[in-house]
Amino acid sequence: MPPFARLFSVALVVCRYRLLSLLPAHPIRPLLVFLQYLVPTSWRGTGDLSEGERLRLALEELGPIFIKFGQLMATRRDLLPPDWTDSLARLQDQVAPFDGGEARQKVQANLPKPFDQVFATFDERPLAAASVAQVHPATLLDGREVVVKVLRPGVEMRVERDLRVMGFGARILEKLWADSRYFHPVRVVRDYQSVIRGELDLEQEASNSETMRRHFLFSSLLHIPEVHLDVSSRQVMISDRIYGIPVNDIERIKAAGIDPRALAERGVEIFFAQVFRHNFFHADMHPGNIFVNPANPDLPQYMAVDCAIAGRLSRHDLNVLGRMVLAVMREDYPMLVDLVIRAGWSNAPIDRHRFEQEATQLLAPVRSASLEQLEFAPLILRLFDLAREYHIEAPVQYVLLMKTLVHIEGLGRSIYPQLDIWTVGRPLLEAWMMEEYGPAATLNKLRNRLPEWTAQLPEMPDLLRDALENLRDHPQRQRDMEFRLALNLRRNRRRALAGIGGVALGLLAGIDALLVGSGWAWPLGGAGAVLLAWSLRA
């Protein structure tokens, strides 16, 4: 059950920015818009604000968890219009730090040892503060300088409350609007839930950090600070403190004698190594999390922190991604289209010829541009725009990956504007493809699978007969499935309508109780609760 007090406050903000007017066409939409205008918060109007700006301001007013959701959705150009994603990209997560004494108490409560047996010093003034946690400098008894990341008090309860509200809204939307199957609001919210819950689990962040640190332990490309696992927990994480130059401080980087071109190209190498060699990538590489080690200017090394959000692709998805990127780099657009269609990401039939024409028209001019004009990130965003037109939805791990690539290229070009991600990346990708799918790799896979195939050979006639029988019975099963789907759709629509009616009656009850005082608040609220309970029943 969603928390009704929070649901009511969210509904008021939704009405304040008239977000119900942004819903897709539906017979019930005029009624919802009418109810929206009955709420006093909507009477102020929205002026000349665009749809995207109204959405952005509403999320900022709803607080940090909704802001983080908006920041993630800013990368989903395969699902949302460009005006929305451009506005969401400007969301700012600005949160004041909480009391340092309270942070110290929380650290002490979550340590496996007494506080004085772990720390020689602990600075109650935070180095940084965010919506989920804040970071304090400290010193261990052996003299090592560390940083202590501690979750905000009560943040888990607030996150779960807001996630339940989001999930409730997504279920209502998906049940009521048949076209929502093209952007799967329930699945999108579920994907976000896994991301934000990962940020709340500092043990998971510590595990991600240590995994990534082992991958680059003897590499001059990337340094990940060591986490002190013996004194870390789900609420507190202690890791070595690093001293590096912020990656967006170009003047200090040049003053340290670091070649900007070498630094930018090594950033591209890190991206391809994380994705294709280790299949484990840092998915939050914005400038606040990346630094440059000035110790060895001839071989510049990046330093990364905050590995709470990390991505990993399945072997199939990694194969599809590698072939797609290589197809773009080789300008083999028919192969790119074949890969997208075979990946099964579309929720509707694709006109292959038209899709190939539009992809070629989009990609060919970009690939023929001069080096200074050739940018990968805008190309990715335009490809997502094209994907949305064909109801093509990439898996969430791909979205995290594309977000990372956009950050990498943005950082690289801020350091060295002539960065050519295509020229740097192509040999790395081709070497990986040869290693994974070349003749030697193919022979090795055949040798490994031969015993399994030999064992299955006697069963092949029975398997073939079963397959033919399944094909014969397929039409009847298909008709049965279509009937059940239609029945469930009608049932879900009735429940969704009841849920919206319940929320509307609850809003009217709140308005009556707060502003009108006619005595109808309790009957309206009771009727709304009954409708809402019926709509949410299992």
Strand order in the sheet with 301-304: 222-223, 301-304, 290-293, 245-246
Mean pLDDT of the chain: 79
Name, in order, each residue with C-beta under 8 angstroms of 288's C-beta and a sequence gap of 6 or more: 128, 246, 306
Rounded CA separation 432/292 (Å): 27
374 φ, ψ (degrees, to nearest 5): -85, 105
182 φ, ψ (degrees, to nearest 5): -75, -20
How much is the average pLDDT of 133-143?
A: 94
State the pTM of this model.
0.69
More reliable by pLDDT, 204 or 365: 204
pLDDT in the model for residue 111: 92
Q: Say whether 123 is catalytic.
A: no
For tokens 């968890």, what's the residue? 65
In this predicted structure, the answer to whether residue 506 has a pLDDT above a threshold of 80 is no
Number of other residues whose CB lies within 10 A of the CB of residue 463: 10
Q: Please say whether the beta carbons of 120 and 140 come within 8 A.
A: yes
Rounded CA separation 391/403 (Å): 20
DSSP for residue 346: B
Lowest mean pLDDT among 3-7, 100-104, 183-187, 267-271: 183-187
Tokens at 161, concatenated: 């409350």
240 φ, ψ (degrees, to nearest 5): -60, 145
How large a percentage of the chain has pLDDT more than 70? 77
SS (H, E, C) 252-267: HHHHCCCCHHHHHHHH
pLDDT in tens, 440-474: 766 776 677 667 667 666 766 766 666 666 666 65
Q: Please say whether the beta carbons of 507 and 5 come within 8 A.
A: no
pLDDT in tens, 211-247: 999 999 988 999 999 999 999 999 999 999 999 999 8
Q: Which of 284, 473, 480, 512 is catalytic?
A: 284
Rounded CA separation 136/141 (Å): 16
pLDDT band of 350, cuts 50, 70, 90? confident
Q: Please say whether the beta carbons of 425 and 272 come within 8 A.
A: yes
pLDDT in tens, 245-275: 998 888 999 999 999 989 988 988 898 888 8
